């Protein structure tokens, strides 16, 4: 049986890669995919702890996170389509209308 | 022993393809790498005795959500977007911040976060056990999720509507 902490470390690495993408990239779609990466790292952590504790409630969280991520992807991509129609780009630095 | 070999192989695949997602310039390559990474994570779920969650991962994430991403990338024709480095200070702070975050997170996981419940717990996570838990303890959140998905569909439709259509019947409403 593989130790739980190894899965936690894998989740931490994937989450950090997602953080790196959100902080450094400017392509909106790529930033969005980095967010999905972070969501999946959290899911892995939830399932690792669910096995460690012998509880199914962690898996329920993963189920609801997946549903919320699907809703988030649909609305977020619709926002990018609307942004592209207005600005002809999805570079997030260009979307600065509400910037101070 | 064989289990460890599978773990390290697919952990390496997940990390490498996630790095490609973050680094690569072409969003289509990023999206396909993300699919590979999700498949590797599904293998991790099987190793964690949760095969139903692995199936859900492949169907919902690799199947549905990533198809949505690919559709939008191709719809907007984003194949080659060059991204010149315009803010080096911001880039440097981002990389430093992410690296510091990773090191801190892994340090504290290895130091403190692992709990030992003593002995392997009984963990049955097949579809039957998940269904019983879902429809007994989580029936209300389950129904709330259906409303959330409906709201997301309506929101996505309204947001991606052509602006001229909104302007045309905006006054009538």
Three-state SS sequence of B99-145: HHHHHHHHHHHHHHHCCCCCCCCCCCCCHHHHHHHHHHHCHHHHHHH
In the prediction, which pLDDT does A55 show? Answer: 85
For chain A positions 19-48, those within 8 Å of chain B (CB to CB) are: 19-21, 23-27, 29-30, 32-34, 36-37, 40, 43-44, 47-48
Q: Would you state the pLDDT for residue B151?
A: 95
Q: Is residue A76 part of a domain?
A: yes
- Asked if B34 contacts A36 with a C-beta cutoff of 8 angstroms, the reply is yes
Contacts of B133 in chain A (CB under 8 A): 56-57, 59-60
Reply yes or no on whether the pLDDT at B161 is more than 60: yes
Nearest to B21 by CA among B12, B35, B37, B33: B33
Is residue B165's pLDDT more than 80? Answer: no
* A51 belongs to a structural domain: yes
* Residue B85 zone, left/alpha/beta (φ > 0; ψ -120 to 50; rest): beta
Q: Is the pLDDT of residue B168 over 60?
A: no
pLDDT of residue B173: 42
- What's the mean pLDDT when you consider all of chain B? 85
What is the predicted pLDDT for the residue at B120?
Answer: 59
Total domains, chain A: 1
- The pLDDT value recorded for residue A69 is 93
A94 contact B CB<8A: no
> Is residue A98 in a domain?
no
Read off the CATH number of the domain in which A65 is found.
1.10.287.3510
Residue A59: which of B50, B120, B155 has the nearest Cβ? B50
* CB contact at 8 A, A61 and B62: no
| Closest approach of A93 to chain B, Cα-based (Å) | 10
Which of B72, B102, B138 comes nearest A13 by C-beta?
B102
Has residue A24 been placed in a domain? Answer: yes
Assembly ipTM: 0.91
Global confidence as pTM: 0.89
Per residue in B95-138, pLDDT tens?
Answer: 999 999 999 998 888 887 555 555 556 778 788 888 998 899 99
A10 part of a folded domain: yes
- The predicted pLDDT at position A86 comes to 83
The architecture that CATH gives domain B1-81 is: Up-down Bundle (1.20)
Cβ atoms of B21 and A21 within 8 Å: the answer is yes
Q: Which residues of chain A have pLDDT under 50?
A: none
In tens, the pLDDT along B12-50 reads 999 999 999 999 888 899 999 999 999 999 999 999 988
Domain range enclosing A58: 4-87
Whether A97 is in a domain gets the answer: no
* Of A68, A24, A78, residue with least CA distance to A42: A68
Task: Give a yes or no: residue A93 inside a domain.
Answer: no
Best of B55, B65, B82, B86 to mutate (most A CBs within 10 Å, chain A): B65
Report yes or no on A95 lying in a domain. Answer: no
Residues of A in contact with B50 (CB under 8 A): 47, 50-51, 59
- Which pLDDT does position B172 carry in this prediction? 45
């Amino acid at each position: 049986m593989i130790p739980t902490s190894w899965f936690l470390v894998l989740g931490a690495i994937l989450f950090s890669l997602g953080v790196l993408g959100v902080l450094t990239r400017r392509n909106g779609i790529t930033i969005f995919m980095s967010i999905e990466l972070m969501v999946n790292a959290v899911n892995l952590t939830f399932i690792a702890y669910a096995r460690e504790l012998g509880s199914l409630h962690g898996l329920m969280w993963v189920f609801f996170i997946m549903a919320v991520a699907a809703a988030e992807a649909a609305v977020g991509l619709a926002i990018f389509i609307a942004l592209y129609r207005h600005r002809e780009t999805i570079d997030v630095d260009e979307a600065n209308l509400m910037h101070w | 022993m064989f289990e460890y070999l599978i773990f390290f192989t697919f952990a390496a695949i997940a990390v490498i393809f996630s790095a490609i997602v973050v680094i690569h310039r072409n969003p289509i390559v990023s999206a396909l790498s993300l699919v590979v990474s999700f498949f590797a994570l599904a293998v991790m779920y099987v190793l964690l005795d949760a095969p139903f969650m692995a199936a859900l991962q492949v169907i919902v994430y690799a199947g549905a959500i990533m198809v949505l991403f690919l559709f939008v990338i191709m719809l907007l024709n984003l194949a080659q977007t060059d991204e010149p480095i315009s803010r080096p200070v911001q880039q440097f702070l981002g990389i430093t911040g992410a690296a510091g975050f990773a090191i801190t997170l892994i340090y504290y996981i290895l130091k403190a976060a692992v709990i030992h419940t003593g002995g392997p717990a009984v963990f049955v996570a097949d579809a039957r056990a998940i269904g019983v838990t879902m429809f007994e303890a989580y029936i209300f959140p389950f129904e709330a999720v259906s409303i959330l998905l409906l709201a997301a569909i309506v929101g996505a439709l309204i947001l991606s509507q052509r602006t001229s259509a909104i302007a045309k019947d905006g006054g009538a409403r």
